[in-house]
Chain A
């Protein structure tokens, strides 16, 4: 190891850093690096395949002799399975296999805990026959008391969902409640409010599912997944197979948003069906199953107190939150430490509440959109209390140079000075009123050590990158091509990308926005290693040292000797072997510029004060993600986050009938998701920050852009109509009711 110096940060704030990377690492890219491809606009390498339909998703895999799997699920919110009679189903034409989702010997005592809980699965030779067979299974249920509503589940006499004494499971509170309350009491202004957010389901366009084919003594699996390797490991451990006996392929994935890690119950069932029938089985969930059983973002009930002194500096925050992730936990609300508040000024108590509904799963920035909805509205309320511009108030309390720069960029882009200065006081176009709001955010995602990569250079100049991780729509494959192209002085289209296959070098699951930051340095290093091998071969031919050789603009050359220059393809002919491979492991992170990324969003809305309909006119989203590798895909990622955030703000809602314990809108008709006409004009601004931490310096971008949208829209609604909406989704019924309360208060 030799110590090197790099400059990190961005134009508004930078510093020098001493680093000690392994000697095999390529020279680290820093703030001063001039890169040819990285950071430019590169169209997705698989874009043409996707828009022409050539791309084969798991749904599109069809094999000779393939069967179709279907799962039988609990129709009850809580019930004991008293008996199961599968005789009639098994006799139906085309039915080939049946497996239980639980230990069959437990029939008679097995408790189903939500409507949608898995009972068994059947494979038949057509989807219709599988459906009919599932309907022909006779089950005797003993229905049990249940509770599906957050508030009801918290009551003392509520039916107990899981084993235990109570449905409420509190985590150890953080901070000193009494000390924080004292600080709040001593504040010159404080606010106190209760916020609620709804359950959101992931609703990826491609549902969960797999095709599993017996393959020798192992299996070959096509999966719609965020974790090629976690599906491999999950299935091999479940079936007692070796990892090498399970091959998982996931070339195209129609979205995941956090709910597609591991094989899932459906994956295990599908594999068992395939092994029982000794035939390939396709098992794709229906939209209804998707809403009921494979994950959701928990709802929340958040009680927040926030105070400031007379100069507008925050004094303390107290947050007590509850949420239900159904039969699962994970309902914490992250109220992230965006603003300058010390630990001793922060009190936070979180509880999970169990209900008889499908379990939550990680969903795009778990906890954050909920927490920010409460936190950033609280900030807004306090700003108005203090008589301060909500943006100025944030700036007063935010030391992060990146977010400060972003607030300024965003304010300029949206035209912040043009907003109504008094909430509800804007110029009205008949019943239509406009307003603007802002919200900030932070995210982490520096990536970790879990990745390897191979880059191969062939004698004919073909370059191929191998990396096993999946591209769930983020543009990861394009990232691989860009990194290799940069290092070899080529164009992304010169690189063949082989990804999303467990036979390729190990890569992480796509969670926590870490795929790119984890994998990029390994790919960079592998490309560098392959390049070194090419240079070594050329050095012999050219009688120079490998260090004298460079690759740029499609050429390989010796800078000091213009006679020694070849187009890349021709240079590769110097290789003595058919091909050379550079292999690399991900280096450990070293110190960087910052451990987190920053972001903020501004929204402009128009509210029809008579109908309560909210239209979001514009969103300006400013985000950093360390070094930006592909500007185009980064901007798309941000737009996607904004659209999903808007959809969360205004439409999406898993609605449960309390008395039946079942979801009433388990479809795409009544589970409403923003469509094209609901989308605002979106301005995505990526702030490129050379973050250091590894030879690439990229941070994650998958999750952060979804976080602040709902809060920014809520603040904009308040600015427009002078009424605050404390509950998501912010639908016309709530707006009409809130406006009527304000009218009532005025006339009373």
Chain B
């Protein structure tokens, strides 16, 4: 990585202005939020948009509003702001923790939640111009037969075995969040699970956004209010590191029992991965050591790890179990 390519630069003061600056193709213009991911990609010459549209100059995209249990977050809110938000820490601890455990303090101060959801994968083959991989329009996925210790374990039928990098995404899928997406042709609301796309559906993009789209709001529905939630991230290094495994759980508890829950595995699949069988199993059962362990086993039942990452299977069993048991301590108040 060295220096940036040449580009034009505009400051957008409103979402409408930003959308007006975007073009029909990805190479025409890029939204520039914190720039943490965008500038890295540009320096590696993996992405050379002709124009950067700075949206940090659009104040209407930066807010956290909690009303009647519904949480609405503007895309420009930083990970640091989410992590430190007193209300979210209490009501939605899984989200606050996921944001707070990502990256480093400096990066969290810059990184926006919108950018976090849209960042490109961290697969080292994708990130280096030395490897013309499938996601960059090349022929093959180098990771499948190559160095894949940090890659996906849910790989069935996937031509590319990245893991989705967004920590915020893991928590937001667990909360069943919705994204408001606007473009010059109108606004739509997308369930966050439908936002992320699998390689088998589109190996070139990680989400449904088109080049003219702007995420304008992230909504956590009121139905999630009062639920217990937890997030645990396991990493090799403690100073800052991407997860080997991270898990978010959101559950409706009644007494000692789980009424309903959503269990989401990060760093396990090309999209935040829901462990639906484990969710089903826990329905109506007491939240105890044994059931949590069983849920952990069910969560990885369909895993098909690669040559170097079989260790992630027992690891996720543990992390799912621990995150479920952590719910007891982090019950929403």
Contacts and interface: CB of A to CB of B under 8 A. Distances in A.
Nearest to B245: A611
Contacts of B3: 127-128, 131
A672 B146 contact: no
Contacts of A670: 124
Interface in A664-679: 664-667, 669-670, 672, 674-678
Given A131-B3, A611-B315, A659-B145, A75 B237 contact: no
B281 interface: no
B130 interface: yes
A357 to B, nearest CB: 14
Interface of A: 70, 75, 115, 127-128, 131-132, 135, 286-288, 431, 610-613, 615, 650-651, 655-660, 662, 664-667, 669-670, 672, 674-678, 731-733, 736-737, 740
B106 interface: no
Contacts of B6: 128
Given A657-B131, A664-B124, A664-B146, 5 more contacts: A70-B2, A612-B315, A613-B236, A655-B147, A659-B142
Contact of A732 (B2, B128, B240, B311): B311
A657 B239 contact: no
25 contacts: A70-B2, A128-B3, A131-B2, A132-B5, A288-B1, A611-B234, A611-B319, A612-B311, A613-B234, A613-B235, A615-B238, A651-B236, A651-B237, A657-B125, A660-B131, A660-B142, A664-B131, A664-B147, A670-B124, A672-B237, A674-B237, A675-B240, A733-B309, A737-B310, A737-B311
B131 A611 contact: no
Nearest to A288: B1
B318 interface: yes
A658 B4 contact: no
Interface string B1-43: 1111110000000000000000000000000000000000000
Contacts of A675: 237-240
B308 interface: yes
B69 interface: no
Nearest to B234: A611
B238 A658 contact: no
B142 A733 contact: no
Contact of B128 (A70, A658, A666): A666
Contacts, number: 99
A736 B127 CA distance: 28
A667 B239 contact: no
A652 B37 CA distance: 24
B244 interface: yes
A733 B311 contact: yes
A200 B237 CA distance: 17
Those 10 A-B pairs whose CB atoms lie nearest each other, nearest first: A675-B239, A733-B311, A677-B238, A610-B318, A664-B124, A677-B239, A128-B3, A736-B311, A131-B3, A127-B3
Nearest to B131: A660
A610 B314 CA distance: 8
B280 interface: no
Interface string B218-259: 000000000000000011111111001000000000000000
A675 B315 CA distance: 23
Interface string B288-318: 0000000000000000000011110011001
B150 to A, nearest CB: 8
A132 B48 CA distance: 13
Contacts of B180: none
A659 B307 CA distance: 15
B72 interface: no
Contacts of A657: 125, 131, 142, 146-147
Nearest to A127: B3
A379 to B, nearest CB: 28
A721 to B, nearest CB: 15
B205 interface: no
Given A615-B238, A664-B125, A732-B236, A286 B2 contact: yes
Interface string B126-160: 01101100000000001001110100000000000
Contacts of B315: 610-612, 732, 736
A134 to B, nearest CB: 9
A734 to B, nearest CB: 8
Contacts of A731: 236
Given A664-B128, A664-B147, A736 B314 contact: yes
Contacts of A664: 124-125, 128, 131, 146-147
- Residue in A615, A736, A740 whose Cβ sees the most chain B Cβ within 10 Å: A736
A736 B315 CA distance: 8
Contacts of A135: 45
Given A650-B236, A655-B147, A128 B319 contact: no
A701 B315 CA distance: 41
Given A659-B145, A659-B146, A732-B244, A286 B237 contact: no
Contacts of B244: 611, 732
A214 to B, nearest CB: 25
Contacts of A666: 128
Contact of A667 (B1, B131, B240, B309): B1
Nearest to A658: B146
Contacts of B149: 733
Nearest to A666: B128
Contacts of B319: 611
B147 A128 contact: no
Nearest to A735: B311
Contacts of B130: 75, 115, 660, 662
Contact of B318 (A127, A611, A651, A662): A611
B1 A672 contact: no
A664 B318 CA distance: 29
B146 A286 contact: no
Nearest to B239: A675
Contacts of B128: 662, 664, 666
Nearest to A611: B234
A740 B318 CA distance: 14
B3 to A, nearest CB: 4
A662 B131 contact: yes
Contacts of A131: 2-3
Nearest to A665: B124
Contacts of A655: 124, 147
Contacts of B240: 675
A733 B146 CA distance: 16
Nearest to A733: B311
Nearest to A431: B318
Nearest to B315: A611
Contacts of B239: 674-678
Contacts of B311: 612, 732-733, 736-737
A590 B189 CA distance: 83
A131 B2 CA distance: 8
Contacts of A75: 130
